[in-house]
Structure 1
Amino acid sequence: MAYDDGMKWLEMSTENCTVQRTLDLVGEKWTLLLLRDAFNGVRRFDDFRRHVGLSEAVLSDRLRKLVAAGILAAVPYQERGSRTRNEYRLTPKGRDLWPVLVALRQWGETYVADPEGPVLEIRHRDCGAPVRVVVECPDEHTALSPTEVRVVPGPAARPRA
């Protein structure tokens, strides 16, 4: 993958970089682990705390930020005899992060996996085949490597100050 334009990549401002903006929202380790758990059905504060191993203060902060960003929704529930609490459910915006987590998992299974094999396998419900993330050309439906693409400035690109 090479930046392909008269203006060089190092001459471009990164102030409005979408990768940077995304990392500002979800780039912290604990946030990604909370999202991993949310995708695996964890909904309640105590379950997140117990499974991820966070302090209450850090967990509260991360959940609050994910709700404020519209990635999780806080949905009130009340068990008999207890006060009202919140469950945390992925929003459509949150569910759109699924390929990112699958890609991280896929990379991890390739380079830092447990010698005994994967902790979880993601398989297609209908046929049972393993699921993988692929960058593809939508016209040709073929997987692409970084050397098969070019990167050009988009409409928000501007020179570095």
Structure 2
Amino acid sequence: MKRKSFREAECPVARTLDAIGDWWSLLIIRDAFDGISRFSQFQQNLGIAKGMLTTRLRDLVEAGVLALAPASDGSAYQEYVLTEKGRRLFLVIVSLRQWGEDHLYQADEPRSTLVETNTNHPVSRLELSSLSGKKLAWEETRVVAAQRRSS
């Protein structure tokens, strides 16, 4: 079955999922934030098949989320590094992490913790806020449909 493309969808969520919406891509991005940059490191950490990893890395490079760069140690290898576009996904990864912490673990179950580097304190919970700083729940938001341009 051919995968449907949402590259031209009006919905930003659909376009985003088209670019980074499978679990392997999100886990690769997570690992890149954790400092992994080489093909072999991604493969070892994720336990992903080489062909699948090759495809996902190629797609993330084509989407502008990752870029190939010379190895930082001066060797002949190349590394995958997050672009600015890729670094802007950090809040998406943190949001997924926090949702998982809230809904997929037992209260006493051990798990990793995201902490602030300088203080070693856990980071605060992500929240949506208005331009004035008021915290917003989903019921206090709505999507305004895109206006079609007339030709």
Cα distance change of structure 1 residues 113 and 18 upon mapping to structure 2, 3 Å threshold: same
Displacement of 1:39: 0.7
Of structures 1 and 2, the one scoring higher in RCO (CA 8 A, sep 6+) is 1
Aligned equivalents of 2:62 and 2:106: distance in 1? 35
1:151 aligns with 2:143: yes
**Deviation of 1:49 (Å):** 0.1
What is the CA distance between 1:113 and its match in structure 2? 1.9
Greater strand content: 1
| Alignment-derived partner of residue 9 in structure 1 | none
Deviation at 1:150, TM superposition (A): 2.9
Contact 1:109 1:118 in 2 (8 A): no
Q: Which amino acid aligns with 2:124?
A: V
Distance 1:154 1:56 in 2: 40
* Separation in 2, partners of 1:62, 1:155: 34
The equivalent of 1:73 in structure 2 is 67
Offset, 1:24: 0.5
Q: TM-score scaled by structure 2?
A: 0.82
Structure 1 residue 77: deviation in Å?
2.5
What are the ranges of 5 or more consecutive residues in structure 1 without an aligned counterpart?
Answer: 1-13
Partner of 1:59: 53
What TM-score results when the alignment is normalised by the length of structure 1? 0.77
Q: Following TM superposition, by how much is the alpha carbon of 1:142 offset from its aligned partner in structure 2, in angstroms?
A: 2.4
Q: What is residue 111 of structure 1 aligned with on the other side?
A: 103
Q: Name the CA shift for 1:76/1:152 in 2 (closer, same or farther; >3 Å).
A: same
Which has the greater radius of gyration?
A: 1
Partner residue, 1:19 = 13
Report the number of matched residues.
141
Report the CA distance shift for 1:113/1:95 in structure 2 as closer, same or farther (over 3 A). same
Q: Could you tell me how far 1:114 is from its partner in structure 2?
A: 5.4
Cα displacement (A) at 1:151: 2.6
Q: Tell me, in whole angstroms, the C-alpha distance in 2 between the residues paired with 1:37 and 1:49.
A: 11
SS in structure 2 of the partner of residue 150 of structure 1: coil
Q: CA RMSD in A?
A: 2.3
Tell me, yes or no, if the aligned pair for 1:72 and 1:94 is still in contact at 8 Å.
yes
> What is the identity percentage for the equivalent residue pairs of Structure 1 and Structure 2?
38
Match of 1:136 in 2: 129
> What do the CA deviations read for 1:60-118 (whole angstroms, capped 9, x no partner)?
110011111110011122868x7x32111100000001111111110000000255445
Question: What is the distance in 2 between the residues matched to 1:108 and 1:78?
Answer: 33
Which 10-residue stretch deviates more, 95-104 or 113-122?
113-122
